[in-house]
């Protein structure tokens, strides 16, 4: 039986995608061939984590990683995703500065993610937040980040410019005050995609348009997204809708003028509330909607310019409804209805979707299957991203959605 070292490099890299990082690291130390193949793979996605047991250590995990990167500059170009996860304490000023330096020295960095995984908002606070609960209150059990007037020492050196390759920012700390987030994001001029925690309620006020000026894709709670839409050309929006915000005065056609792609999570809302909200997005072309109600032809408002409609629902959708949707929306080219499953292997669980697709100009129905992260950028290329593959079975045409990374 051949060993890993006898396999082609492309095969080893494909297998490594389904292996935990610890296994890849162990294999890279078995022989020089695998070391040369897998070591670059280990640097593509870097997660710097500070555990509670390390809180009092004089040298933080971030400092150790920064020092290692300085010693081996050949790995600078390998890092595409950098995730910093902190537990139970605020970032120190020196750590904030090093994050800026790391972003600066990684020329191919495309995604930066910050996650304070100790910040869990209690259920009672989430339910009463619509009444004005201050999630930044020091009385809450999770600690928030310290606020500094500037992340950078203005006397010692100039503020670095973020690498042009950095286009995606994931911010999973639910309690970051607007001042802190704005201060952190201000130098990141090239960010195009921003993902906030679904329960992030802090950034409800409008951020100055000089912060993240080139933002195109936003995934955030609706009141936060409304603040980000002001002064920016947002084309893709992923958000959740509730009764409280469905009639928000800021939800006007002018606010959503630039939005072309919408992923809407409004599982418990009535179809009428959804239609009223969707009618305000006049230039919408692609809609991904999740609902728990029976689906009929009135799920979207009449007269919309939709080209692609994707419905996530556990309720059966009849063919009569599909035909009626095509009749009511002359611009509609394709309808897809799908369900989600989780697959767990040795690597973290990945979402697995399957569904049925109907094209206006193609007879019959097609089964569609794909695996992808919980991102919605693929919706913008729904025509090109699906390609047929050879499968065994009874001849059913199965297509796998080969999700191209937006970055």
332 confidence band (pLDDT: 50, 70, 90)? very high
Please choose, from the candidates 198, 194, 190, the residue with its C-alpha nearest in 3D space to the C-alpha of residue 169: 194
Angstrom CA distances, 64 to 48, 57, 58, 116, 275, stand at 10, 11, 11, 19, 52
User: Using alpha carbons only, what angle is made at residue 270 by residues 267 and 271, rounded to the nearest 5 degrees?
Assistant: 95
Instruction: With respect to residue 397, please indicate whether it lies within any of the assigned structural domains.
Output: no
Q: Rounded mean pLDDT of 390-404? A: 35
When the pLDDT of each residue in the chain is averaged and rounded to a whole number, the result is 70
Q: What is the pLDDT of residue 375?
A: 52
Q: What is the pLDDT of residue 147?
A: 25
Instruction: With respect to residue 5, please indicate whether it lies within any of the assigned structural domains.
Output: no
Pairing, β 350-359 against β 366-371 = antiparallel
Using CA atoms, how far apart are residues 397 and 370, in angstroms rounded to an integer? Answer: 13
68 confidence band (pLDDT: 50, 70, 90)? confident
Question: Domain of 220?
Answer: 43-234
Per-residue HEC secondary structure of the chain comes to CCCHHHCCHHHHHHHHCCCCHHHHHHHHCCCHHHHHHHHHHHCCEEEEEECHHHCCCCCCHHHHHHHHHHHCHHHHHHCCEEEEEECCCCCCHHHHHHHHHHHHHCCCCCEEEEEECCCCCCHHHHHHHHHCCCCCCCCCCCCCCCCCCCCCCCCCCCCCCCCCCCCEEEECCCCCCHHHHHHHHCCCCCCCEEEECCCCCCCCCCCCCCCCCCCCEEECCHHHHHHHHCCCCCCEEEEECCHHHHCCCCCCCCCCCCCCEEEEECCCCCHHHHHHHHCCCCCCCEEEEECCCCCCCCCCCCCCCCCEEEEECCCCCCHHHHHHHHHHCCCCCEEEEEEEEEECCCCCCEEEEEEEEEECCCCCCEEEEEECCCCCHHHHHCCCCEEECCCCCCCCCEEEEECCCCC
Instruction: With respect to residue 131, please indicate whether it lies within any of the assigned structural domains.
Output: yes
Using CA atoms, how far apart are residues 358 and 366, in angstroms rounded to an integer? Answer: 7
Total domain count, the chain: 1
Instruction: With respect to residue 106, please indicate whether it lies within any of the assigned structural domains.
Output: yes
Q: Does 394 have pLDDT greater than 50?
A: no
Least confident range from 57-61, 109-113, 291-295: namely 57-61
Instruction: With respect to residue 3, please indicate whether it lies within any of the assigned structural domains.
Output: no
Instruction: With respect to residue 129, please indicate whether it lies within any of the assigned structural domains.
Output: yes
Q: Is the pTM of this model over 0.75?
A: no
387 confidence band (pLDDT: 50, 70, 90)? very low
Instruction: With respect to residue 144, please indicate whether it lies within any of the assigned structural domains.
Output: yes
Least confident range from 36-50, 294-308, 369-383: namely 369-383
Instruction: With respect to residue 335, please indicate whether it lies within any of the assigned structural domains.
Output: no
Q: What is the pLDDT of residues 337-382, one digit of tens each?
A: 876 554 444 444 455 566 788 889 888 887 776 655 445 555 666 6
Using CA atoms, how far apart are residues 31 and 37, in angstroms rounded to an integer? Answer: 10
């Amino acid at each position: 039986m051949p060993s890993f070292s006898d396999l082609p490099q492309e095969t080893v890299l494909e297998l490594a995608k389904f292996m935990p990082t610890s296994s890849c690291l162990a294999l890279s130390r078995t022989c020089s061939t695998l070391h040369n193949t897998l070591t670059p793979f280990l640097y593509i996605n870097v997660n710097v984590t500070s555990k509670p047991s390390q809180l009092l250590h004089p040298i933080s995990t971030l400092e150790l990683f920064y020092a290692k990167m300085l010693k081996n500059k050949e790995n600078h170009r390998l890092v595409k995703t950098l995730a910093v996860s902190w537990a139970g304490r605020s970032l120190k000023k020196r750590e904030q500065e090093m994050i800026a330096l790391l972003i600066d020295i990684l020329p191919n960095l495309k995604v930066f993610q910050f996650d304070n995984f100790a910040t869990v908002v209690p259920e009672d606070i989430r339910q009463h937040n619509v009444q004005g609960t201050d999630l930044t209150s020091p009385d809450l059990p999770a600690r928030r980040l310290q606020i500094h007037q500037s992340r950078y020492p203005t006397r010692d050196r100039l503020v670095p410019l973020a690498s042009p390759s950095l286009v995606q920012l994931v911010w999973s700390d639910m309690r970051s005050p607007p001042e802190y987030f704005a201060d952190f994001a201000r130098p990141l001029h090239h960010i195009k995609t921003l993902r906030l925690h679904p329960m992030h309620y802090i950034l409800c006020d409008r951020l100055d348009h000089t912060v993240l000026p080139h933002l195109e894709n936003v995934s955030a709670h609706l009141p936060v997204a409304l603040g980000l839409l002001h002064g920016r050309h947002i084309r893709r929006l992923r958000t959740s809708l509730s009764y409280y915000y469905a009639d928000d005065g800021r939800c006007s056609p002018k606010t959503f003028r630039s939005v072309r792609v919408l992923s809407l999570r409004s599982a418990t809302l009535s179809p009428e509330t959804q239609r009223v909200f969707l009618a305000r997005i006049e230039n919408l072309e692609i809609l991904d909607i999740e609902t728990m109600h029976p689906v009929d032809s009135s799920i979207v408002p009449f007269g919309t310019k939709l080209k692609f409609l994707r419905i996530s629902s556990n309720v059966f959708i009849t063919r009569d409804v599909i035909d009626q949707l095509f009749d009511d929306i002359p611009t509609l080219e394709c309808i897809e209805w799908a369900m989600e499953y989780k697959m767990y292997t040795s690597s973290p669980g990945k979402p697995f979707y399957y569904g049925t697709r109907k094209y206006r100009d193609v007879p019959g129905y097609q089964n569609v299957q794909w695996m992808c992260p919980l991102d919605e950028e693929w919706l913008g290329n729904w025509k090109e991203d699906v390609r047929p593959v050879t499968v065994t079975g009874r001849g059913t045409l199965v297509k796998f959605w080969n999700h191209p990374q937006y970055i």
